[in-house]
């Protein structure tokens, strides 16, 4: 992402230089008297919008994961929208001398303020969504992990009878409520213990033990799922 930002920075620098050359070339470098208050107001706010857009881009490209990059995408989008609107308003202030400079300042300031507020809201929303996503991943880890382990048991089963029991457990885990909570920790701890016993029984090809532990795991899973409904 750092290399991408460096390339982006190069494009941004070209835009900044191009804007400055065109802005001053329109009025002539030799005649600074033509540079009215409206010109400087438009020039200042467009430059500020460019800097703000670069800051948003740096935040976007500095994210290390694809998910975080996705969450911060609205920052770049909003900053570009704000930059375009500021450029239009600022350009009018620069090239139309009849527009009072204070009008340019007020309008440009409003555009920048609205853009800044929108970017801040997007940033806060991105952090909130990231926290929720992290929480959900943590809460669903138990069942997802157990599902993978149960699928592995089926592969390790050496007889049809044992495999049938393992499939029952796998299907029960697979269709269990994925959301965990602190209130379910005791029940899930018991499930983990009994599942470990079931795994050992499968390795030892002990059919009776497999049936017994599989039954216990199924009962505990049913109890967990019923408690999940109570907590919703």
Residue 196 has a pLDDT of 92
d(CA 153, CA 132): 32
Residue 78: pLDDT above 60?
yes
Q: Tell whether the model's pLDDT for residue 60 goes beyond 90.
A: no
Any residues with CB less than 8 A from the CB of 13 and at least 6 apart, and which?
Answer: none
Task: Give the pLDDT of residue 82.
Answer: 85
Give residue 141's pLDDT band: very low, low, confident or very high (50, 70, 90).
confident
- Mean pLDDT of the residues in the chain: 82
Dist. CA 140–CA 81, nearest whole Å: 38
Candidate ranges 72-81, 87-96, 142-151, 177-186; pick with highest mean pLDDT: 142-151
CA distance linking residue 183 with residue 219, whole number of Å: 18
pLDDT tens, residue by residue, 171-205? 999 888 888 777 778 888 899 999 999 999 999 88
Asked whether the predicted pLDDT for residue 121 surpasses 90, the reply is no
Assign 168 a pLDDT band (cuts: 50, 70, 90): very high
**What pLDDT sits at residue 27?**
62
Mean pLDDT over 126-130 rounds to 74
Between 203 and 105, the more confident residue is: 203
The model's confidence at residue 91, banded by pLDDT at 50, 70 and 90, is: confident
Instruction: List, for residues 19-36, the tens digit of each pLDDT value.
Output: 888 877 766 555 554 667
Distance (Å) of CA 10 to CA 53, 61, 74, 106: 14, 14, 22, 31
**Is residue 118 predicted with pLDDT exceeding 70?**
yes
Query: 99: which DSSP letter?
Result: S
Asked if 174 and 223 touch (Cβ cutoff 8 Å), the reply is: no
Q: Give the E-state strand segments of 49-185 in sequence order.
A: none
């Amino acid at each position: 992402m750092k290399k991408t930002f460096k390339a982006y920075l190069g494009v941004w620098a070209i835009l900044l230089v191009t804007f400055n050359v065109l802005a001053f070339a329109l009025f002539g470098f030799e005649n600074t008297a033509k540079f009215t208050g409206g010109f400087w107001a438009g020039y200042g706010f467009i430059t500020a919008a460019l800097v703000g857009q670069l800051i948003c881009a740096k935040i976007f490209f500095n994210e290390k994961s694809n998910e975080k990059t996705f969450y911060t995408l609205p920052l770049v989008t909003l900053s570009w929208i704000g930059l375009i609107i500021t450029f239009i308003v600022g350009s009018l202030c620069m090239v139309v001398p009849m527009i009072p400079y204070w009008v340019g300042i007020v309008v440009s300031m409003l555009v920048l303020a609205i853009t800044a507020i929108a970017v801040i809201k997007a940033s806060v929303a991105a952090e909130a969504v990231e926290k929720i996503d992290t929480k959900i991943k943590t809460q669903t880890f138990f069942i997802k992990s157990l599902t993978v382990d149960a699928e592995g048991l089926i592969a390790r089963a050496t007889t049809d009878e044992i495999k049938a029991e393992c499939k029952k457990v796998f299907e029960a885990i697979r269709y269990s409520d994925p959301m965990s909570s602190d209130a379910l920790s005791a029940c899930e701890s018991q499930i983990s213990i009994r599942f470990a016993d079931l795994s050992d029984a499968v390795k030892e090809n002990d059919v009776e033990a497999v049936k017994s532990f599989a039954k216990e795991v199924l009962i505990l899973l049913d109890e967990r799922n019923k408690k999940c409904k109570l907590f919703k």
